[in-house]
Amino acid sequence: MNFLVTNDDGIFAPGVRALVEVLSNFGQVYVCCPDQERSAISHSITLRKPLNIQKTDLFGEHIHAWCIDGTPADCVKLALDVLIKEPIDFIISGINLGSNIGRDVYYSGTISAAIEGASLGYKAFAISVDAYDAEKLNLKYPKQYLYQFLQNFLHQDLKNGTVYNMNLPYVEPNHYLGPIVTELDFSVKRYKHVHIEDGMGQLFYWLKDYRTTIESEAGNADFSLITQGYLTITPLTVSFINQDLLQQTQLLIEGALKK
């Protein structure tokens, strides 16, 4: 199996190295990541400037790796269009520092990189860990949970064009409850603006993450299940088409035209 790894935390983030170490057990790994953090950049791509590509041996001589001064979606596009000549089986984005839950699917560069791959017809994963302190981060146990899950899941009949959004719990093995398929928790209001005032009385607004204090109204969705110790998986479609409303919308248009 051939894997393309990317992320939005930058190529030097510990999560990408951890992901490379796990995936190396299953096949050949290629890495293409931003040269610096691009968190919450969503699915933006670079149109009005050339991209700089640097090959790197950061992950050892057996791992082909590049860093670019662009977005996570840029990384996937460049890797597939130009850099990698071998066929890719999976595009895996992560391991992101901080879980991606609920509305994060709209903002996350991690998820958007996986969506870019899925939109091109690939099997794709977005993987995050429910931890937030980079200085104290220890991925020993999350790596174990990910390895245990992937060793069987990768061989299943997975659908091309689908993103599997995964969140790894940051718990010790005696608190780990295993994988579970779940909904996104849209009841969580994670980000809110707070204001600060400078010495001249000018107001500024800052978007603050309330992840450590938020409460959920959905006990069986991703946020609550991660905190309990589950590895959550949510399959995402990359098509924005509401299939259920196609025929209904056509009838509405026909009705409007008759009036």
Residue 134 bridge partners (DSSP) = none
Is the pLDDT at 94 greater than 90? The verdict is yes
pLDDT at 13: 96
Q: How confident is the model at residue 112 (pLDDT cuts 50, 70, 90)?
A: very high
Is the pLDDT at 234 greater than 80? The verdict is yes
pLDDT in tens, 180-200: 999 998 887 777 888 888 878
Is the pLDDT at 219 greater than 80? The verdict is no
Mean pLDDT for 164-174 is 97
Is the pLDDT at 214 greater than 80? The verdict is no
Taking CB atoms within 8 Å and a gap of at least 24, the contacts of 204-213 are 211/98, 211/99, 211/132, 212/132
pLDDT at 259: 65
Mean model confidence pLDDT for the chain:
92
| Half-sphere CA count of 151, side-chain side, radius 13 A | 8
Is the pLDDT at 215 greater than 80? The verdict is no
Q: How confident is the model at residue 213 (pLDDT cuts 50, 70, 90)?
A: low
- Cβ proximity of 73 and 45 under 8 Å: yes
- Cβ proximity of 115 and 85 under 8 Å: no
For the chain, the residue count is 259
- Cβ proximity of 63 and 99 under 8 Å: no
Mean pLDDT for 77-89 is 96
Mean pLDDT for 152-174 is 95
Mean pLDDT for 12-36 is 97
- Cβ proximity of 169 and 139 under 8 Å: no
pLDDT in tens, 118-152: 999 999 999 999 999 989 999 999 999 999 999 99
Per DSSP, the residues of 193-229 read EEEEE-TTS-EEEEEEE-TTT---S-TTBHHHHHHHT
Q: Which pTM was predicted?
A: 0.92
Mean pLDDT for 10-26 is 97
pLDDT at 251: 87
Is the pLDDT at 92 greater than 90? The verdict is yes
